[in-house]
Structure 1
């Protein structure tokens, strides 16, 4: 090809490297932040190959989830801390308060349990279930052991403003 084409290819390569470097920097900073605040970080076991075949493929691969989990696990091991993979199956369906399954479609973003009255954001419910699974506890036992434990999700705020 022409010189201009070669220059354009080289420039595009530089831009791709800059994006990759920024993503890697973000992964390291996020892992450092989490591990500086928490001794144990629980995360979903992700089927990245399966997700890459879905309609979310581009965003899944672009986010570099596998890379982040590798960095998080490595940094946790080096610091003598834990990064615990947990099965994500039914974490947003099961009630984090009573353990009963409350089926809901993906577009339903609020968890309302008809059995115990628990009402909270679907993702917050899932985060509590992941925390409980990481602790290796049943819902009721985990309630007693981890009642005051924070789940480390500062971005979440309940409608009344408390976290």
Structure 2
């Protein structure tokens, strides 16, 4: 079983499709890593095409299931991951019903996800693209990759 480290470019096979992520942090937030996930249509890609492409999003995901199934391959290690950090912030809201809009947003610096730096009834435009402060299973991230999700599309905004 692979042990992912910051800087690892991983190819993950999931439901017959291939997905690519760069690990940006050690384990954080309930066992997940913050990653950069490339938008992809499920086709295999080569390293060269990934190195010049920054279409995707930052998210926190656990890789438990694909690692357990042996479907994670390290294909490269980046020494500098700064280009893959698309935001300096994470946003969260207390919303419990599907489709419900958030009435209060909490903002955090991505370097310290325990320290709240602001609360907003309406999230200012400059923070709409902040990473969603949640850890998702890789299956959820895979569906977001295929849908070309970005955090400013969050259904609670």
Normalization by structure 2: what TM-score? Answer: 0.28
Bigger Rg, which one: 1
